[in-house]
Amino acid sequence: MDGQVFGALGQPGVGFFMAIIIGALAGWLAEKFTSANMGLFANILLGIIGGVVGNFLAAQLHIPVYGFWRNLISASIGAIILITIYRAVRGTRSTY
């Protein structure tokens, strides 16, 4: 470690409550994009986990993620990836 302090989602300046807000929005966006039917708690949980996945993938691709909008985009992409993997494992399809 280089002594840098990171907040929630591994990003400086993102506190606990902001991580919940970003997670809820990202989960909701992923839910709408994939036509999934989940509740508020699942959206928040999926968005926060998706934020970790999205930030990890962005770091692997050397894409800087900072600020509200970039965190929201990376969390949404991560949540969409998680929903897609979950559906592939379960063998369920979306209903339109």
Q: Does residue 11 fall inside a structural domain?
A: no
How far is it, in rounded angstroms, from Cα 27 to Cα 2?
32
| Residue 2: Cβ within 10 Å count | 3
Q: Does residue 2 fall inside a structural domain?
A: no
CA 95 to chain centre: 23
Q: Does residue 74 fall inside a structural domain?
A: yes
Q: Which structure tokens are listed for 35?
A: 């036509």
Domain count, the chain: 1
Q: Which structure tokens are listed for 81?
A: 């990836």
pTM, two decimals, is 0.75
Q: Which domain holds residue 58?
A: 16-89
pLDDT tens-digit profile of 21-53?
A: 888 899 889 988 988 887 888 888 888 888 888
Residues 6+ apart with CB under 8 A from 72: 22, 25, 26, 29
Q: Does residue 50 fall inside a structural domain?
A: yes
Residue with tokens 């559906």: 87
Q: Does residue 45 fall inside a structural domain?
A: yes
